[in-house]
Amino acid sequence: MSWGTTRVLGNRDAGRYLAAVLVSGFGTAAMLLVAGIWVKDLTGSSSLAGLVTLGTWGPTLIAPLIGVLADRFRRRPLLIALHLAMAALLPVLLLVDSATRVWLIFAVTVAYGVSFVLIDSAEAALVPAVVPGELLGDFNGLRTTVNEGMKLVAPLAGAGLFAAYGGPPVVLLDAATFALAALLLTLIRVRETAPPPREPWTRQLAEGLGHLRRHAALRHLVACTGAAMLLIGLNGALAYAVVDDGLHRPPEFNGVLGTMQGVGSLIGGLAAGTLLRRFGDRRVTAAAVALLAAGLALRAAPGLAPVVAGTVAVGVGAPLVLITVWTAVQRETPNALLGRVSATVNTLTFGPGTLAVLAGASLLALADHRMIQLAGAAGALLLAGWALRGGPRPAAPAPPPTAAPHSDTSPVSS
């Protein structure tokens, strides 16, 4: 365990926050997998099942408009309210009992997507008030490890519950985890300054976009991440075809592959802080995208072993790309702008992935999934080269500080 990970875990408020991420992440990982299986089970369509991902990612296309809200309110109360709102909304899915009500699954996943945009924006602005700046990479890595690591158990649990009892138990589980996460968030002690006086929405939006235009190194990193997420979105859209047409397994087998991706995410998340300090943003991004290329190519193979290996590789690469850009945004953006800047970055990174889900679902009707994934792997290799060589030169990574550990004396939030 690195010194950065040890210091983050020693911070009581950071630990409470990570506990909330673990709890809500378990329910979310189970529910989002089951949502696709549920649609596949009711309709028999792999394309429709793949489009469930679109509901989650779609709101990122308007994330800058949504993210302005994160700079208009105190971030901790906003996070609590969002978790409670999802806990209240999820039971609507108990009404789904036939293909004619599948639209409810898509409607709730859109609500998921909107809440995720706001949660990510509020978190990006709240975390620097809880964690020292030199530990942001370690905290973001641990957060991703906890969240993505739920894929070790949650997808299997969700798929198992669905196979035995159908969707309702998974719905109730997810609602309960959102409510418990809200309770944990109330225990975090952090002083938040009052939000600045409200300006016109358009002016706040322009300020967030202007920060990225002025910051060339951050802009290049965001562009690389957006292209990587396009490839990850393509991979997600083809997930059911890989299991059905490639491996000839039932759709519930996506739970097993989700667990394998969770293994990769544990590795990538735990290594992120150390890698960023040692190698810097550009080289970590390039290496992560190269892993994505290998993963996409392996998932095009007909055998179980290469598909599992490719899934693990995607699990390692995807969080490394995201942790790198999240940490850079938090490090390079004034706190008053963090909500809207992070939301804008969400659009520029996750937006291409949303389009890739649509494209992947459509391309399945025209081409074999293996050809699509091999084309994606070739594109990832080109992107890795651009991430390594293109754009302005980044500053050398700072050496690890030798100051005493951050004391846990954060005052209680108002």
Segment 32-81, tens digit of pLDDT: 888 888 888 888 887 788 778 777 877 877 878 787 777 778 888 999 99
In one-letter notation, the amino acid at residue 23 is V
CB 315 within 8 Å of CB 261: yes
Place of tokens 């659009």: 347
CA–CA dist 314, 148 (Å, integer): 12
Lowest mean pLDDT among 167-176, 202-211, 268-277: 202-211
pTM above 0.75, yes or no: no
Q: Average per-residue pLDDT in the chain?
A: 81
CB 115 within 8 Å of CB 85: yes
Lowest mean pLDDT among 94-98, 172-176, 366-370: 366-370
CA–CA dist 134, 40 (Å, integer): 45
What is the band of 392 on the pLDDT scale with cuts at 50, 70, 90?
very low
Q: Establish how many alpha carbons lie within 13 A of residue 138's alpha carbon, considering only the half-sphere containing its beta carbon.
A: 23
pLDDT at 324: 92
Closest by alpha carbon to 234, among 372, 347, 383? 372
Average pLDDT on 306-328 reads: 90
Structural domains in the chain? 3-191+203-389 (1.20.1250.20)
